[in-house]
Amino acid sequence: MAYLRQGAEARRCDALKMGEQLKKRLLIIGAGGHGRSVAEAASLGQNYALTAFLDDAAKPQQHHLWGCPVWGTTAMLADCRGRIDTVIVAIGNNALREALHQQVKAQGLTLAMVVHPAAMVSPAATIGEGCAIMAGAIVGTGAQLGEGVIVNCGAVVDHDCVVESFGHLGVNAGMAGGSVLGRSAWMPVGSALAYGVKVPAGRVLRAGEVVDA
């Protein structure tokens, strides 16, 4: 009986190791607040093994974050090839996120999509590469998210909404059905779009602002 128990435990360990090996090695660009949040979401999921960070603003003495190495700045991005499988740019600033996202693509590296396990994403939604969908977020049926979109904690992208590339929904922001958030536009905390409203590219709403026409 002890032999059988030992055999079962060995098989379980082998299965766990195999599961870890099947996860993609994830590099996160950005070790600030959003970067740490994305790292946590990735760690809680089943698809990625958190491997390292790059951060242009990292302090010289910052070599590790949560036991994970900070390899350096984005200047060494090309040197990461072969050490990682996929990359996500986890920076809240839309313009900077887009610039680094395009830099990753120019290096021929694969961009990840990180979805917190506590988010709800419709199987009928379309999610672009490099998106981050955080805890408690909801992405409804028929919704379309472009590249590099952030849907932060508790935000709602309702049915048939469009968030164009590098758009950003802050905490508890909400888009009613059929509304559109333009490229690189930002909805801060608590802001909302009424049904069918379109916010132009680059617009920054005020916290709590409601756009109904």
pLDDT by residue (tens digit) across 109-137?
999 999 999 999 999 999 999 999 999 99
Token pair 């390292």 in the structure block, residue: 52
CA distances in angstroms from 202 to 86, 102, 193, listed in the order given: 28, 18, 15
Regarding pTM above 0.85, the answer is: yes
pLDDT tens across 38-86, in order? 999 999 999 999 999 999 987 766 678 877 899 999 999 999 999 999 9
Rounded to an integer, what distance in angstroms lies between the CA atom of residue 189 and that of residue 85? 33
Cβ within 8 Å of residue 156, ≥6 positions away: 137, 138, 140, 173, 174, 175
Plot region of 37 (φ>0 → left; ψ -120 to 50 → alpha; else → beta):
alpha
Taking alpha carbons only, the member of 52, 86, 79, 78 closest to residue 66 is 52
pLDDT for 65 equals 83
How far does Cα 65 stand from its chain's mean position? 18
Q: In what order do the strands lie in the sheet with 126-127?
A: 126-127, 144-145, 162-163, 180-181, 198-199
Question: Is residue 174 very low, low, confident or very high in pLDDT (cuts 50, 70, 90)?
Answer: very high
CA-based torsion, 50, 166, 196, 208: positive or negative: positive
Q: Give the bridge partners for 145, in sequence order.
A: 127, 163
Cβ within 8 Å of residue 42, ≥6 positions away: 26, 28, 48, 50, 88, 112, 114
Q: What is the mean pLDDT of the chain?
A: 91
